[in-house]
Structure 1
Amino acid sequence: MTIRDLYLAIDVGTGGLRAALVDRDGRIQGLAHQEHEQIVPQFGWSEQRPADWWNGTRAVVRTVLDDVRNGAARVAAICCCGQMHGTVLIDGNGRLTRETVPLWNDKRTAPQVAAFEKQADHDAAVALTANSPATAWPAFKLAWLAENDAPALEQATSVLMPKDWINYCLTGQRAQDFTEASLSFLMDWERRDWSKRLCDMTGVPHALLPDLKDPQDVLGPLLPNVAGDLGLSADIPVLVGAGDYPMALTGSGVIAAGMGSDVTGTSSIITLMRDAPVIGPEISNVLAADGTWGAMTLLDAGGDAVRWARRAFHENKRSYADVAHSATSARAGADKLFFLPYLSGERRRPELRAQFFGLTAAHGLPELHRSVLEGVGFAMRQRLDGLQGDLGRPDRIVAAGGGAKNELWLKIKASMFDVPYLVPEELECGVVGAAMLMATSTGDAADLKTAAARMVRYSSEVAPDARWTEIYDRMAPIYAKLYQQAADLHADLDALP
């Protein structure tokens, strides 16, 4: 008899579908990936076809099952995560009422957000949702559809998120989970359930919202025809799952209040885990898969600043490794050189600009490169201060994304925040998080804390340098003054021909 010792994780990403087989120790035994198209009908719009997600899921599942010896017979459970906020509409028979869906990064809902902020009780809504209105939230995507594609909305009986659509295709069951709902602008954060008042405020039909379930709940077994198509046993349990970002928090071991996460790619996402949301104009609050709140803020500056410096100073002729090595020869603080990294503005303050301050003839490329890294660190520190309130720094911060590969940058940020940084051994954190949920749901682990202890490992720990921390503590107030004083010049700058 074959032992069912593998977990099948499915990730519905923006760039493509991934399927992985993960063992009980959290090690990935096989991974398959297939890209899919992102449709841009006009500037600011972003769509995909749910049918492509399902076709991609079938393809990558078959591939990974074939790649691992006796893979299909060893699957103990299935769990999906996926890009958040994409609003999939299906009718009573489960048919799509719209071929494409607007994605998380689709900005067409800006007029609906502006209208809401002008007409509705903004403070009351934020108190209910723990989030400010934003173009990404499904409530405003549904408001746009009501105004611009009424037949699709009228024919629909359920709205699902991308991973929920895949779950429906797998099991025939309709549901959402509370991680997705927490960023829908339709969930009462205290009751952790849909809010009729928010539905009334945004115009979303309450009947469209399916049951809310725990990510670790079993949604159902595979449909017999789907099981046959994939070559799997029909009795395999399919979990409800979670959104990709909260699932990645789980899979990186960030599962308890007092912990933090830093995902630095092109941009930087900073998250602190709390027992309750943190309310603020630049803060979003997401429920993690274990029920802990993640107060998160996104900084457009991140790896993009490093990419700019490589292009501007070296015409892309030096590698990122060479650029990073150059920065290591500069001292902490880059000899009193500051860099404000707002090369593309910021989403809530698009007028912001980048600048160097304190530049002298003594500075060279090493100082310029180091100040870019430190400038992103100072910008993140400002956001971290807003997130933490009076609760102090997190116990540790887990790094992920491309920025986790830059050792100097990790040490700069660890010293900037005076918090140790950890780097996961397995950077496919969403897949590991899904495996952790399956371990707890099948009884292989008592709870997520137990699962994390066995399935999440860290390849390195970067401790703060006390000397650097002292320097950054003295520089931070000057950075804050530069940030404020430069704001007075933005209007004059924009007025120049």
Structure 2
Amino acid sequence: MTQDLILAIDVGTGSARAALVEIGNGAILEIAASEYDQIVPAFGWSEQRPADWWAGTVSAIRTVLERQDGAAARIQAVAACGQMHGTVLVDSHGNPTRDTAPLWNDKRTAGLVASFERDNPPASYLSESGNPPTPAWPGFKLAWLRDNDPQAYRAAATVLMPKDYINLRLTGEIAMDEGDASCSFLMNPASGSWSAAMIDRLGLDAAKLPPIRSPLDILGRITAGAALETGLAEGTPVLVGGADYPVAVLGSGVVHPGTASDVMGTSSIITLVTGEPLLDPEICNVRTVEGHWGPFTLLETGGDAMRWARRAFHEKALSYGDIVAKAAEAPAGAEGLFFLPFLAGERLGAHRNARAQFFGIGAKHGLAHLHRATLEGVAFAVNRHIRVMEASTGQKLERVVASGGGAKTELWLKIKASAYNVPILVPEETECGLVGCAAMTATALGRFGKVEDAVGHFVRYSAEILPDPAWAETYARMQPVFDRLYRHSQALYDDLDRLQQG
């Protein structure tokens, strides 16, 4: 039987997805998802069970295999991407040493980060870590686990990221790709190796860190046990794979220096592609799949703002489409209503305990205004980040490529294009993480000389969303007010913390 398919896996925050992709053109033939929940034991904490990722992945794989005759035998290779920073401890047999893993949006390490920032000036660590400190980074999560769950830490042989854990279950092999490693706070960006200086500074055990490998390397092959569970053919090659965010940037076609990406997923991430990391205390850096660097700023609550509104206002009774339709009933600017979208705090800065809020509510405002303000608030917050990036790089954004679930929402794209006041390109296939997996796999199998060539062959754009001149004018007047609200509200966040602590 002809091996004409790739299996792409995406271990997301909301679900595990699997897709059958044609190896010749990158077209997604089948896709399935299996949802799971975040566990929130306390404000600012966020966990998931690695066992749930595996169960979701198995379910999604079996679903797509059932939809195509002989699919398992047609799959030439498997590649996974996954949510970043979820810190999984496993023992020497590959079993988790604790039931849950703290996620990318978990803030329990805020105290450790604050202490680190107090004791270490940026010049002393930026060149060794490639990044400013943040509670997201696995380096700090490992330090927290060492101090607060010493039994699990001592029992751990290795630390893995979510997609690495899935790869371990599929192949029995262990590795971490350069993208995940670059955002650990433990990798030296110049050498691409673990930084002895950062490991020592955080007091961690270097022996627990896995090998760093290229995302295009073949990690191993589907084991007999994994074949039995998933329905995949034993012996099918599996790539090292990549972190979901740089893989989605790749799959959106943003691969050359000077281009920019807006990944509109649970969070919202603005990325520039550059030849070197941008060592700035307000900017993070990730190693891209093709070997460049991606300086980025991240808003923790992007698409998650709409998920929150659906739950809070409608108890999930309405669809996302219904909510967007309701938001469209309100005029641009929501008649002076603002939403600060910090539902999960912030990643960088002195106010990681930021809170969300509506400001300016009057008797004339209704549900449509609230929904519109929610979408616009995310755009204003991201636009603030864009201006930080522009100030640091000295160059203005001229065009942005959108990807992720939010790229399917035309109203939100038009709001963002108008707030940023630049055109937004939309890939024909918005499942950019899965397309990125396919591009990596096709390159690893030798069908393309380099991954940029695969992207050029696979990625097409369906639309260019231009700013609405009237909306852009409205948003330009509102942005300075949003910025002042952001600054003035910071004085209250510590007060809110004290109130919650009693």
Question: Which of the numbers 378, 381, 389 marks the counterpart of 1:379?
Answer: 381
3-state SS of 2:32 partner: strand
Alpha-carbon distance change, 324 to 212 in structure 1, aligned in 2, over 3 angstroms: same
1:297-318 Cα deviation digits (max 9, x unpaired)? 2235656777899999999999
Contact 1:278 1:387 survives alignment (8 Å): no
Alpha-carbon distance change, 353 to 449 in structure 1, aligned in 2, over 3 angstroms: closer
Letter in 1 for 2:296: M
1:425-469 Cα deviation digits (max 9, x unpaired)? 222221111111001111122322221222222221112356765
- Using the aligned pairs only, state the percent identity: 49
Give the aligned partner of residue 289 of structure 1: 289
Give the aligned partner of residue 268 of structure 1: 268
Tell me how many residue pairs correspond in the alignment.
Answer: 490
1:198 positional shift = 0.4
Give the aligned partner of residue 188 of structure 2: 188
Give the aligned partner of residue 139 of structure 2: 139
Contact 1:305 1:341 survives alignment (8 Å): no
Give the aligned partner of residue 125 of structure 2: 125
Alpha-carbon distance change, 418 to 155 in structure 1, aligned in 2, over 3 angstroms: same
CA distance in 1, matches of 2:494, 2:153: 46
Contact 1:120 1:201 survives alignment (8 Å): no
CA distance in 2, matches of 1:56, 1:482: 41
Letter in 2 for 1:431: L
1:13 is aligned to 2:12: yes
Structure 1 window deviating more from structure 2 (423-432 vs 474-483): it is 474-483
1:70 is aligned to 2:95: no
Question: What is the TM-score normalised by the length of structure 1?
Answer: 0.84
CA distance in 2, matches of 1:333, 1:37: 33
3-state SS of 1:193 partner: coil
1:435 is aligned to 2:434: no
Contact 1:340 1:379 survives alignment (8 Å): no
3-state SS of 1:286 partner: strand
Give the aligned partner of residue 455 of structure 1: 458
Contact 1:179 1:289 survives alignment (8 Å): yes
3-state SS of 1:19 partner: strand
Q: For 1:42-441, list aligned pairs within 5 A.
A: 42-120=42-120, 122-227=122-227, 230-264=230-264, 267-299=267-299, 302=302, 319-327=322-330, 330=331, 337=336, 339=338, 341=340, 344=343, 346-347=345-346, 348=349, 349=351, 350=353, 374=376, 376-388=378-390, 389-441=392-444
Question: What is the TM-score normalised by the length of structure 2?
Answer: 0.83
CA distance in 1, matches of 2:225, 2:302: 46
Alpha-carbon distance change, 483 to 173 in structure 1, aligned in 2, over 3 angstroms: closer
CA distance in 2, matches of 1:369, 1:39: 26
Structure 1 window deviating more from structure 2 (410-419 vs 243-252): it is 410-419
Alpha-carbon distance change, 430 to 221 in structure 1, aligned in 2, over 3 angstroms: same
1:141 positional shift = 1.6
RMSD: 3.8
Structure 1 window deviating more from structure 2 (312-321 vs 347-356): it is 312-321
Alpha-carbon distance change, 268 to 156 in structure 1, aligned in 2, over 3 angstroms: closer
Structure 1 window deviating more from structure 2 (38-47 vs 160-169): it is 38-47
Letter in 2 for 1:186: L
1:159 positional shift = 1.5
1:489 positional shift = 7.5
CA distance in 2, matches of 1:228, 1:334: 54
Question: Which of the numbers 422, 445, 450 marks the counterpart of 2:448?
Answer: 445
3-state SS of 1:245 partner: helix
Contact 1:340 1:483 survives alignment (8 Å): no
Contact 2:160 2:176 survives alignment (8 Å): yes
Letter in 1 for 2:255: I
CA distance in 2, matches of 1:16, 1:481: 36
3-state SS of 1:460 partner: strand
Structure 1 window deviating more from structure 2 (144-153 vs 193-202): it is 144-153
Letter in 2 for 1:424: P
Structure 1 window deviating more from structure 2 (280-289 vs 202-211): it is 280-289
Structure 1 window deviating more from structure 2 (280-289 vs 461-470): it is 461-470
Unaligned runs of 5+ in 2: none
CA distance in 2, matches of 1:476, 1:130: 30
1:400 positional shift = 3.1
Alpha-carbon distance change, 310 to 208 in structure 1, aligned in 2, over 3 angstroms: closer
Letter in 2 for 1:130: G
